[in-house]
Amino acid sequence: MMSKKRILSIGMPRSLQSIENCKFRTHQSLLDWDIVLFRPNIDSFINYSDTFQGRPCLDDNESFKFRESYQHWNREIRDAYSAGKTIFVFLSELQQISIATGERDYSGTGRNARVTRIVADTDNYKSIPIDMNPTKTSGMAMKLCGNGNQFLSSYWGYFEKRSRYNVTLDVKNPIIKTKSGDKTVGSIFMNKESGGFVVLLPDLDFNSEYYYTSGDRATYWSKQGKEFCANLINELVAIDKALRSSSEITPEPHWVNDSKYSLREEISLRAKLIKIEGSINQKLEEKSRYISKISEVTKLKRLLFEKGKPLEEAIIDALVILGFSASSYRDDSSEFDVVFESKEGRLIGEAEGKDNKPVAIDKLRQLAMNIHEDLEREEVLSPAKGVLFGNPFRLKPFEERGEPFTEKCKSAAASSSVALVSTPDLFSVVRYLSNKSDARFARRCRKALLDAVGLVNFPALPDAVTDVVVDKSGQSAGA
């Protein structure tokens, strides 16, 4: 029968049967659980369309989220270990990536200005609070050694053939080694004060044969898969029991924390701990406020990579910066992505983001219908000018993007006097205007939109003031 111990898994390729599961991106506490299964797979962060020196490179936003996630799990595993929990770490592939440091290098001024993003190398194993110096490799020929013969024999009987090592480790207390070369691929750590354990195990092969897919595209465990899960959980619970029975440390019973048993130095240390925790909570609240502010002020960046409603919202924000009054429109019979106007004129826009191709003619048909529906409203006296906002190849770096609109789209736009706006081009001008008040330049941008037939060519950015370079030591100097 299954143990009643509370068990949580993080980062498994499929949600395991009969236990709680969460993803690597979540911020779950581990202190509520008796046994934790952790797999540091970060596929959800990686987009191979952006690389640096051959490695996946995360943008600023994902870099922040990744750093936040690995720091969270590093801290949670350390705290759970100190609290007497058992953590099984399945050593998935070593995934080496580049993340933004938040620093920038600036060179040149005006039209020749160039901003270089500074990145740093890191990997998914930073989420594990153990200095193991992993070396990337792979293989399946392994053997038990040391305490592994005592604690893992039953587990190994079930899962040796489904285990695969992805790294070799430079650690003490090996429990699994390669059959040739005696390289450590599994280890165990014990906290003698708390009775906590961290067990490093080779990764498991969660083969597709364990799943079947129903007609609604939901993924379920097959009968063999359910047996696999049950055996895995039962074996890990048995390992935990064996480890604890061999330990000389008895976990503290709840009653021993009664104040009548408190020691003088303990009381002083707990008071300091409470003060530190209060400071941490205050900083976490402050951090949350900054995250919200950053999310708000970076909405314009959606012009570079978004589609759908997020892209529409960014376009509205950009048009307001240009000096238009702008909003989406919806009534019982019509829905327009954006309606915007200024003293120079009134326009209706339709937005389209494409993952890996240019914007085609189909959105022009929708835009033409919107203009006619708009004109049928009693308060509208003349047709609005049509504008198609396109964000093509949105998942690719800019140097790999092709023409934003198809030739057919451009010729149709010219014949119907529609303006075509590439949203990355729009971002360039509103980025300048968000940093500098320039009514004359904003007016020229509005005029370019109103006068254009076909692709809009916004005016060149004015020469900027001398940029400031901040070197890695934190000292600033003129560019």
From CA 6, how far away is CA 306, in angstroms rounded? 40
Whether 56 contacts 48, CB under 8 Å: yes
Pick from 179, 173, 10: nearest CA to 90? 10
Pick from 37, 42, 32: nearest CA to 68? 42
Pick from 181, 178, 179, 154: nearest CA to 166? 178
State the sign of the Cα–Cα–Cα–Cα dihedral 149, 152, 158, 162.
negative
Residue carrying the six token digits 């009643």? 4
Confidence (pTM): 0.56
- Give the Cβ contact number of residue 453 at 10 Å: 14
Question: Is residue 473 scored above 50 in pLDDT?
Answer: no
Cα-based torsion angle of the residue sequence 403, 406, 412, 413 in order, rounded to the nearest 10 degrees: -30
Pick from 20, 55, 60, 36: nearest CA to 305? 60
> Angle, nearest 10°, between helix axes 439-451 and 423-435?
160
pLDDT in tens, 217-264: 556 777 887 888 888 998 999 999 888 887 655 555 667 778 888 888
* pLDDT for 113: 63
Checking DSSP bridges between strand 385-391 and strand 345-353, what pairing results, if any? Answer: parallel
H-run or E-run covering 443? helix 439-451
* pLDDT for 209: 57
Confidence band for 208, pLDDT divided at 50, 70 and 90: low
